[in-house]
Structure 1
């Protein structure tokens, strides 16, 4: 599949951010998200929903996870594709919880890009794994 110039630039921005975030998943978000990014976590439960901006996403969803980890999450890209303004990324993460048990998750992101930044997106992940660590590890 041949990508347009815009698709190539957007895909490259996501790939570069994932490479920078290989040892710390938070870097991916700070590289690509803005104060206005609209982010949806698909699924059911307290963390599923729409977030407006990186700060809200962090404060409501990410902090609950990251506070329970012994260190940063490592991420591996399993594939990155572009279609118009959207970039699709399949990602795996691994880390260690503060209780000594491993944490792993898989994600599928659809990122709507503008000027190589995420303006909106939707995330699918294993919410059972997320809720398990949040419920199991106290902070």
Structure 2
């Protein structure tokens, strides 16, 4: 059986390419795990797994915009008018009556968010677990809690995926427990306007 000879430089390039592919796979797997679990340990793992990979200016900027918006929301501010583009396309995934695609900020707030928020006596208080940016995409995993108009607690877990352009969200996808959302809508009277 004959052997194939690789010059030393070619051998080093093949080995280096194999390491880069393996490292990329590890980073992707870690980011997916982080987005799903929001684990603080996983966040440290991402940093340790890819110290040579730094976020681009766009990623850093988009992540900072979203983080600042969620901090404003947490202190009682309304972030949607400032963060979302007026022509945002917002999709709520799932199979409940609220699931679907909303076109424009007004459509989303009136048909997508208002059925829930009108039945809450307090604003939803977000607790952010993870914000990950990749190019023009920002993924946020957070929990939200509020009190309904009947005095019952409302708690939900969310993953929002934003596509950003010029500092605004132009496309959003939302994943949440739609059964918890629907229970609030079905069992609570809307606030008086």
SS at match of 2:79: helix
Partner of 1:15: 67
Number of aligned residue pairs: give it: 138
Q: Alignment RMSD, CA only?
A: 1.2
Which structure 2 residues correspond to residues 57-136 of structure 1 after superposition, within 5 A? 57-136=108-187
Structure 2 unaligned segments of length 5 or more: list them: 1-52
Give the superposition deviation at 1:29. Answer: 1.5
Higher strand share: 1
TM superposition score normalised by structure 1? 0.94
Give the superposition deviation at 1:46. Answer: 1.1
Give the superposition deviation at 1:137. Answer: 0.7
Partner of 1:3: 55
TM superposition score normalised by structure 2? 0.69
Structure 1 unaligned segments of length 5 or more: list them: none
Give the superposition deviation at 1:31. Answer: 2.2
CA separation in 1, counterparts of 2:126 and 2:177? Answer: 15
What does the per-residue CA deviation read over 1:16-74, in whole Å, with 9 as the maximum and x for residues that have no partner? 000000044x7232221021001100011211011111110111121111111112111
Higher helix share: 2
- The structure having more radius of gyration, on CA atoms, is 2
Give the superposition deviation at 1:84. Answer: 1.1
